[in-house]
Amino acid sequence: MGDSTAQSVFFYILAVPMVIGAIRVVTTRNIIRAALWLVVVLGGVAAQFVLLVAEFTAVTQVLVYIGAIIVLFIFGIMLTRAPLGKSLEFHRNQAIGGLVVAVGLLALLGYVLIDGFGDDQINLEVAGLPSVQVVGVVDEGSGRYEQAVSSSRFDVLANEDFEEQVAELVGDALAGSSAQDQLRAASEAERQREVALAEAEDDGVTASSAFVIVEASNTKAVSDAIFSDYIVPFEAISVLLLAALIGAVVLARKD
């Protein structure tokens, strides 16, 4: 559990400046300072992503948010010649109303989260990579399968020689990783298979084999998902970005 403590410590080291930065974004009078505090928050979010072993998302966050969106904000601030020093006066009623709503919402969300998720742990053996994941089991009787996680890339490994097959699969897919990592991935797959089989038995399904997917790196996993399962939203986002680009150019044109 030493790992988990270190991660918790880092979480708090990141979270405290993030919360302070967020509060400063919405309370500071100077709008350029607000943009810079927002950079603190965005950087903190990217660091949290790294903590959650989502490094591709972290790098994208830095590139797109800090590298493009903040620059866009600063351009917008400069072009609208917003007073760079102290700006518009503070309106008490509006601020108090906003504060009441925000605090009430926070209380509600906090209660729901603590009540709902209690002590659920994030198991980095599951989230961390390299990993092998059991995503479903094949029903002996009907031949159909229960897929626990959506994925179109999987291998079916029969129950009898599961261990050897998993070891081979892990060896192939994670060829670059250390032996210890491969061993960890294979034993994690074993553990997940036990869980999946037990769940299947509870549902009255006798499973003859299990589906596994192997993810060698976060980028590979994300790209496999985007370009197979989520290709339609991906194309839709491309069209959306094009529309936004044309729209922004037309709106901002001087006519």
Partner 1 sequence: MLLNQFLLLGAILFCTGVYGVLARRNGVMVLMSVELILNAVNINLVAFSASTGAIAGQVFALFVIAIAAAEVGVGLAIVLMIYRNRHSIDLSQADLMKG
Residue placing its CB nearer to partner 1 in the complex, 113 or 183: 113
Among 40, 66, 77, 167, binds partner 1 (CB under 8 A): 77
Residues 6 or more apart in contact with residue 164 via CB below 8 angstroms:
none
Residue placing its CB nearer to partner 1 in the complex, 152 or 178: 152
Residue placing its CB nearer to partner 1 in the complex, 199 or 208: 199
Among 95, 183, 195, 198, binds partner 1 (CB under 8 A): 95
| CA distances in angstroms from 152 to 67, 203, 213, listed in the order given | 33, 24, 9
Residues 6 or more apart in contact with residue 2 via CB below 8 angstroms:
none
Residue placing its CB nearer to partner 1 in the complex, 57 or 208: 57
E strand or H helix at 157, and its extent?
strand 155-158
Mark the segment that binds partner 1 (CB under 8 A) among 99-107, 162-170, 176-184, 196-204: 99-107
C-alpha to C-alpha distance for 107 and 104, rounded to whole angstroms? 5
Residues 6 or more apart in contact with residue 133 via CB below 8 angstroms:
126, 149, 189, 192, 212, 213, 214, 215
Q: Which of residues 107-166 bind partner 1 (CB under 8 A)?
A: 109-110, 113-114, 117-124, 126-127, 131, 133, 149-151
| CA distances in angstroms from 3 to 10, 38, 82, 227, listed in the order given | 11, 30, 47, 34
Q: Which of residues 18-57 bind partner 1 (CB under 8 A)?
A: 18-19, 22-23, 25-26, 31, 34-35, 38, 41-42, 45, 48-49, 51-54, 56-57
Which tokens in the block code for residue 251? 């709106």
- 183 part of the interface to partner 1, by CB under 8 A: no
Q: How far is the CB of 92 from partner 1 (least distance, A)?
A: 10
Which tokens in the block code for residue 185? 């991935």
Residue placing its CB nearer to partner 1 in the complex, 103 or 158: 103
Q: Which of residues 226-255 bind partner 1 (CB under 8 A)?
A: 226, 229-230, 233-234, 237, 240-241, 243-245, 247-249, 251-252, 254
Which residue, among 144, 145, 127, 125, has the nearest Cα to 135 in the 3D structure? 145
